[in-house]
Amino acid sequence: MDINELTIGQAKELSELFAAKGECIANPFEVGTKYLIRTVTHIQTGLCSNRCGVFVFLTDAAWIADTGRFADCLEKGNFSEVEPYPSGVWVNTTAIIDFSEFGHELPRSQK
């Protein structure tokens, strides 16, 4: 099959095959909002300051090595181990397990 010879109907059929069915394809992060993000390998906190495609940029960001009791960290904003990023971090949203708005002061000291 020569892709240059596809009809509009065939191109639409191919598009349907690769379309994300029932999925949100927009970046859900809001600039100016603080988040706690769990990815497949790390936990980050930070203030969303930019979005680009599947990436979100966090300022005042920290890698959380140990949350302690997870419900307690969400409720009280306390963590057992914190490693701050000096200049922020880009997070790939395709690796996110879950995230929530973080209504506490962002951790900025190593712990």
Q: What is the pLDDT of residue 3?
A: 73
Asked if the model's pLDDT at residue 41 lies above 80, the reply is: yes
Binned at pLDDT 50, 70 and 90, residue 16 comes out as confident
Class of domain 28-101: mainly beta
Residues 46-102: pLDDT tens digits?
999 998 888 999 999 999 999 999 999 999 999 999 999 999 999 999 899 999 999
Phi, psi torsion values for 25, nearest 5 degrees:
-100, -5
- Quote the pTM value: 0.75
Domain boundaries, the chain: 28-101
Work out the pLDDT band at 5, boundaries 50, 70, 90.
confident
Q: Which residues contact 22 (CB under 8 A, 6 or more apart)?
A: none
Cβ partners under 8 Å of residue 26, min gap 6: none
Strand partners, 63: 44, 83
β-pair partners for 91: 56
Question: Residue 23: what pLDDT?
Answer: 56
Inter-CA distances, 58 with 9, 87, 108, Å? 42, 9, 13
